[in-house]
Structure 1
Amino acid sequence: MIGIIVPAHNEQDFLDDCIKSLIAAASHQELKGEVVEILIVLDDCSDDSALIAHAHGVLTHSCQHRNVGMTRAAGAKLMIERGARWLAFTDADSVVPYAWLADQVAFEADAVCGIVHVNDWSEHPEQVRTRYDSLYRPVDDHRHIHGANLGVSSIAYQRAGGFKALAAHEDVHLVEDLQRTGARIVWTARNSVSTSARKHCRCKEGFGDYLNSLATHTLLG
């Protein structure tokens, strides 16, 4: 079985599109009918995120961590207990392409680090997009790490110790731990995940704060 884990804290505005894209990816013909389970980890949600997940018939798990590292770890633990051989991670404000999951598995690696892109830059001045594009390398063998586009075998994940209880950069620390254990990591530009560029981001020091920092740099520049 393949497990997809999505942490969500009050993500009713984005979650429907996210789940729809995951359901499509889970039906890819190259998965050859292997069971795929989608888990939305509802972290202290007070909006309609749970209702949206239930309407799609996906699995949910509720927690009160308000900590993305702990939330991802809780989801991974549950999926491993349910028999998942591969763990795929994305974010609730993201949309994955159709071949996202099939290609992750097809690499036959210990872990797969993918890239992301932004479709809607409307909350930011054009200078932020220009600055972002000048710094980002959307090519194979990049070294970008995104929780919105990450896959890892259950064996390699457990060998590395799993996600740490960190409020930010939990994905970076996991990949560093994977590298220390000698895991074979594929850094691919295939199947870029579309993610939100909202200014009011859920995770401090995450992707949204990075974009906000580019705005500050542009003003100072």
Structure 2
Amino acid sequence: MRPGGARHGRHRVSGRGLRRGARPRVRPLAQGARAPTPGLARRASRASVPQHGRGRSRPRRRALGRPRQRLAARPPRRHALGGAGSRRALLGAPRRPPGPDRLGLVLTPRAHERAPCDRAAAPAAAQAARPPARVPDGDRGREGTRARGPALLSVGVVIPTYNSAATVTAAIESALAQEPAPAHVVVVDDGSTDGTADALRPFAGRITGVTQTNRGPAAARNVGLARLSTDAVVFLDADDLLLPGALACRARLLASADTVWAHTDGWLEDPTLVRQRFSACYPPVDDRVEGWIFTGLLRRNFITADAVIARRDVVSGLGGFDETIRGTEDWELWLRLAVRHAVAHSAEPTFVYRARPRTLSSDRARMDRMRYLTLVTAHRLFPAAVREAGVPARRSVADAYNGLGDALAAEGRWREAAGYFAASLRLWPLQRGAWLRWLRGRAAAPSGP
């Protein structure tokens, strides 16, 4: 066969040697021959190609009939008076005495009263027919890690106090008035000199009182945390209050097995007794209050110690509060929790934060220095997490290094300040002022400790 022909049915059209206007020759293909690749025959008119077999269609296969489904035999009709048929029931024929069911009980034919039966005498088949207890599919393999419900979750309250005789009584009463009541309330007197011990005497037997020398609120909270054996812990300052239902609301947030800590909204009360939402006064920068909030916490602390509930074993495993930090020790602990665990949140107000003058948080210069120290500590503990937190978070930590460097430079310790400026530039190099101060610190003579 010549190459370049096209196959149509049982014929081959050859397109070689054709003149303009000539009709192609049609030759029948030999039996079993294979048509070559189509060439010039595509240009040939279809009118010259025999339409053998083009208009015909293959006969369809008849669909095989499906076998008819046999109808299941109907169960025998049971009469209302009992028996397998109505005739037996109407004639009053005695029925066959019933045997013991799979639960080991015998049904009497008349009154259908349950009579106890010895399980040992029951047939083995009846005992084997008892279905096993079914475990839901969602709980398979997790029977040992199921979360405890809010009613079963024991909560302890830790109240540190220092010269708060006028307000600690109301704080303790707000904790004891919770429903359900807390399993344990620990009040730690951090070396008060204003008669706080006398204010705690009426609560003897209802709370656990601990007295120590003045070591700061972080040390007082750690002492109270060590006295607890509950599932969860709530921290309450001596000048603040818990609203009714606060512990129940927070316990519901810890109902999930994956939830380690949670926080709620509350009220901020100024010295004139005017209350505002705490979230309105201290909102998060990125509007994220639940989930993974480590990035937002690096830029601003929007969670107070009164708003948090956490699992006691997790907080104890992290070492509790950092006792070298005073004023922002709660923020430093939240950062260590947020880098490891997601947080749950509820918009329901559960506490009253009472802002009063002459408190530790009212000293602005001291609070700024503690804020810088908190961010620097977080960067030293989790450098990779801070780098991956984004530019705004890195700039916030860089500003903290600059703040500590400026404090050291103000004391004339330029050599030490240069180290903080260098750390700030590594986080955010586009700082002209930090470069100049770093160069000055490098050129300065070493100073004393």
Report how far residue 133 of structure 1 moved.
8.3
What is the DSSP-based 3-state SS (H/G/I as helix, E as strand, rest coil) of the residue aligned with 1:190? strand
| Ranges of 4+ aligned residues in structure 1 off by more than 4 Å | 132-135
Out of 177, 183, 190, the residue aligned to residue 43 of structure 1 is 190
Deviation per CA, 1:120-157: give whole Å up to 9, x if none.
Answer: 4329xx9xx99x98643399827621112221101221
What is the DSSP-based 3-state SS (H/G/I as helix, E as strand, rest coil) of the residue aligned with 1:148? helix
Out of 18, 23, 27, the residue aligned to residue 171 of structure 2 is 18
Out of 257, 262, 286, the residue aligned to residue 112 of structure 1 is 262
Out of 214, 234, 238, the residue aligned to residue 92 of structure 1 is 238
In the alignment, is the contact (CA less than 8 A) between 1:15 and 1:92 conserved in 2? yes
What is the DSSP-based 3-state SS (H/G/I as helix, E as strand, rest coil) of the residue aligned with 2:347? coil
User: How much identity, in percent, do the aligned residues show?
Assistant: 18
Structure 2 residue identity aligned to 1:172? W
Determine the C-alpha separation between the residues in 1 that align with 2:253 and 2:175.
19
Determine the C-alpha separation between the residues in 1 that align with 2:235 and 2:279.
24
Report how far residue 106 of structure 1 moved.
1.3
Is 1:174 aligned to 2:322, yes or no?
no
Structure 2 residue identity aligned to 1:194? V
The change in CA–CA distance for 1:199 and 1:2 in structure 2 (over 3 A counts) is same
Determine the C-alpha separation between the residues in 2 that align with 1:159 and 1:47.
34
Out of 321, 329, 352, the residue aligned to residue 163 of structure 1 is 321
Determine the C-alpha separation between the residues in 2 that align with 1:37 and 1:140.
32
Out of 351, 355, 358, the residue aligned to residue 193 of structure 1 is 351
Determine the C-alpha separation between the residues in 2 that align with 1:134 and 1:3.
28
In the alignment, is the contact (CA less than 8 A) between 1:114 and 1:146 conserved in 2? no
In the alignment, is the contact (CA less than 8 A) between 1:156 and 1:183 conserved in 2? no
The change in CA–CA distance for 1:134 and 1:156 in structure 2 (over 3 A counts) is closer
Determine the C-alpha separation between the residues in 1 that align with 2:194 and 2:222.
23
Higher relative contact order (CA 8 A, sep 6+): 1
Which structure has the larger Rg? Answer: 2
RMSD of aligned C-alpha atoms? 2.9
TM-score normalised over the length of structure 1: 0.75
Report how far residue 53 of structure 1 moved.
2.0
In the alignment, is the contact (CA less than 8 A) between 2:236 and 2:306 conserved in 1? yes
- For 1:217, the equivalent position in structure 2 comes to none
Gap regions ≥5 residues in structure 2? 1-153, 291-300, 368-449
Out of 211, 217, 222, the residue aligned to residue 62 of structure 1 is 211
Gap regions ≥5 residues in structure 1? 214-221
Report how far residue 114 of structure 1 moved.
2.9
- For 2:438, the equivalent position in structure 1 comes to none
Q: What is the aligned residue count? A: 192
